[in-house]
A = this chain, B = another copy of it.
Amino acid sequence: MINKAGLTAVKGFKYAGINAGDSKKKNIGLIYSTTEETYGVAVYTKSDVLAAPVMISKENDAITNKKRAVLINSGNANAFTGKKGFNDAKSCTNKAAILLDIKPEEVYIGSTGIIGRELDVDSILNGVKKSAKDLMEGENKALDFIEAIMTTDTRVKQASISFEIDGKPVNIASCAKGAGMIMPNMATMLCVITTDAKITPTMMSKALNASVEHTFNCITIDGDTSTNDSIFLLSNGLANNEIIDSEGENFSIFTQKLHLLMEHMAKEVVNDGEGITKFITIKVINTPTRENAKSIAFSIGNSPLVKTTFYGQQLNWGRILMAIGKAQTGLNCNIIDIYVNGFRVVGDGEPALSSEEFKKAEQSLSDRNIDILIDFKQGDDKITVWTCDYSIDYIKINANYIT
């Protein structure tokens, strides 16, 4: 279903990724839609501290749904930089608008990097100019864009999905940079999604919000939330399907495919989490509410003790119980089942593994993928959350520690 062919699966977009200033890596990325009737919707970090680019993208959402470009810089988050930071980001969208002959409010802007550091705005503005000149279609240019928005993600993350609506081929494509704080001082998850589906901004927004809740809102590397997280969805309508302007079969198909792609991308982000050695899937099922399941799953997923036990390939399942208990949902934990990699470690609230099974179960932890399933048997709601372990490299990376 998911194609590794990424951004270029959707036609009608040009890309650039260039080095601005003294940067050794590409640090300015620009996507531009050649179709005038291109619309955009977005979701942003829930942090109380919003980076300047998030504030401006939100302002631009309020003015118009038309969006022709996404401009992203890496290396500096332009967060907590006061009025100057806000004005600097504004200058960037203005500059891009002039160069692309569109309105400033038709530009999405994103940043990722160190928080609280002033932007070298002149070098960035030169970079915007350079990238606008450099815009072209094609895979290599798309790669330039993706590399420009990476901080030190260890690999390019992009994918696409193709399907039909009313017999017309439709495509959705996406790229993302990691939530992993992969290099010292770096943070932020940024994701760009493009589609040629013809769909109203209202329905795009509905589809995006529904999918985010079950995909990007269900991953955690370390429980820390960036000031800059943004997901931008742009559609240029080139698929020429009958416009999706209400709920119904076509909207369902679009939402389902968007969901699939976003789930893939969200997992990709976890899979490139800093210092990751284990990819952990946590399913919590049969709870009275999804909120119960969510707080339990995240309590497990963010627990340093759970994360380190899997890093150490030790089946210390008591730590999973500790994390369930500390979620303080008030659910009855004395009837639950817990499975790790298919092994039933807890049955009806009691330890369930023979010592021989324990050995086998612990051996299975040498796999990269770890599956945890918890059945609460007291309701019919559920959630799936994806996370990774905590390794020595996580600490080294984030403490800038060099051996």
Contact = CB atoms under 8 A, between A and B. Distances in A.
Interface in A368-402: 390-392, 394-396, 398-401
A309 interface: yes
A82 interface: yes
Contacts of A401: 311-312, 392
A396 B394 CA distance: 12
Contacts of A49: 321-322, 324-325, 333
B398 A395 contact: no
Interface string A14-54: 00000000000000000000000000000001111110000
Contact of A321 (B45, B227, B314, B349): B227
Interface stretch (A3-11, A62-70, A180-188, A255-263): A180-188
Contacts of A328: 46-48
Nearest to A82: B350
Contact of A48 (B117, B319, B325, B395): B325
A317 B399 contact: no
Contacts of A351: 80-82, 116-118
Interface string A110-123: 00001111100000
Interface in A141-186: 181, 184-185
Nearest to A310: B399
A305 B187 contact: yes
A202 interface: no
A322 B399 CA distance: 16
Given A395-B392, A398-B309, A48 B330 contact: yes
Most chain B beta-carbon contacts within 10 A, residue among A225, A302, A311, A322: A322
A77 interface: yes
Given A305-B398, A324-B48, A324-B49, A318 B79 contact: yes
B224 A333 contact: no
A51 B323 CA distance: 14
A308 interface: yes
Given A48-B328, A325-B49, A304 B346 contact: no
Nearest to A222: B304
Given A312-B398, A390-B395, A392-B395, A116 B333 contact: no
A326 interface: yes
A325 B392 contact: no
Nearest to A324: B49
Given A48-B333, A224-B303, 11 more contacts: A79-B321, A80-B333, A80-B349, A80-B350, A82-B349, A115-B318, A116-B317, A184-B316, A224-B305, A227-B321, A308-B395
For the complex of A and B, list the 4 residue pairs with the smallest distance between their C-beta atoms, beginning with the closest. Answer: A115-B318, A312-B399, A49-B325, A47-B325
